[in-house]
Amino acid sequence: AQKVTQAQTEISVVEKEDVTLDCVYETRDTTYYLFWYKQPPSGELVFLIRRNSFDEQNEISGRYSWNFQKSTSSFNFTITASQVVDSAVYFCALSEERSSNTGKLIFGQGTTLQVKP
Amino acid sequence: SAVISQKPSRDICQRGTSLTIQCQVDSQVTMMFWYRQQPGQSLTLIATANQGSEATYESGFVIDKFPISRPNLTFSTLTVSNMSPEDSSIYLCSAMGQGSDEQYFGPGTRLTVT
């Protein structure tokens, strides 16, 4: 069965520290898609990245980077030099190939990141 | 990327009443979805809103409780019927654009049922 696990419920760091948010997934499909979303206190869900299962290259976007490792079924998210504005709940999500046409996303429980000044 | 708006942004409703939430996308999209986020919880898909046909509901969600309409490619509504306090949640609309696999979300509707 498909499942997404974000074991870290809450993380607190001081500004400028690097922080990694973990995401482990389970799926029987060989083709699937992984996502990260940010949910700031205002509540909207902000799309950060989508990665398909055939692309294991790490991705970097400014202070954000993602490490996808199929061998460990993980898709971890690192914020470098964190800032107070990074404080939010971060969700990892999975979409399986069988669901790709329907767009169904399976979300992890989320990790609350607090960045203190 | 698609820009999605929802109305109302929040509401406080009495038990037993119904609320209809509107979702508007600024461009034509292939897929529209409704998710629920209970307090302090993750998101759960309620249903896929199909244009011109009945919505496809996930396990645990039924049409009588959550009727959905999608009259065209840019608009959908979700009704939360016969509300109880357990329905207090954030309801989010999302959309997947034509030729895109990225799924974008609206700002959500915060519903409190008293």
Instruction: Assign B89 a pLDDT band (cuts: 50, 70, 90).
Output: very high
Distance from CA of B112 to the nearest CA of A (A): 15
Instruction: Assign A1 a pLDDT band (cuts: 50, 70, 90).
Output: confident
Secondary structure of residue A33 in the 3-state scheme: strand
Q: Which residue of B has its CA nearest to A100?
A: B101
A92 at the B interface (CB within 8 A)?
no
Instruction: Assign A97 a pLDDT band (cuts: 50, 70, 90).
Output: low
E strands, chain B, in order: 4-7, 10-13, 19-25, 29-37, 43-49, 56-57, 68-72, 75-80, 89-97, 103-105, 109-113
Please check the confidence at residue B25 and state whether its pLDDT lies above 70. Answer: yes
Of B33, B96, B105, the CB nearest to A44: B105
Q: Which residue of B has its CA nearest to A52?
A: B101
Q: What is the pLDDT of residue B103?
A: 83
Q: Do A103 and B106 touch (CB under 8 A)?
A: no
Q: What is the mean predicted confidence (pLDDT) over B37-57?
A: 90
Exposure string for A30-42, b = 16+ CB within 10 A, e = fewer? eebbbbbbbbeee
Chain B partners of A50 at a C-beta cutoff of 8 Å? 101-102
Q: What is the mean predicted confidence (pLDDT) over B44-62?
A: 90
A110 at the B interface (CB within 8 A)?
yes
Q: Do A50 and B45 touch (CB under 8 A)?
A: no
Q: What is the pLDDT of residue B28?
A: 86
Q: Do A50 and B101 touch (CB under 8 A)?
A: yes
